[in-house]
Amino acid sequence: MYDRILYPTDGSAGSEAAAAHVGALA
């Protein structure tokens, strides 16, 4: 789950970006 490292999930837009990446990779 490197996406969490690139996009720190601090409740900001970064978490949504990480989720979008996960969805795209999935």
- pLDDT per position as a tens digit, 8-23: 555 555 567 767 766 6
Q: Higher model confidence: residue 1 or residue 15?
A: 15
Round to whole Å and give the CA distance between 5 and 16: 13
Q: Taking the model in full, what pTM does it have?
A: 0.28
Q: Tell me which residue range forms the domain holding 10.
A: 1-26
Average pLDDT, stretch 1-11? 57
CA atoms within 13 A on the CB side of 4: 3
Q: How many domains does the chain have?
A: 1
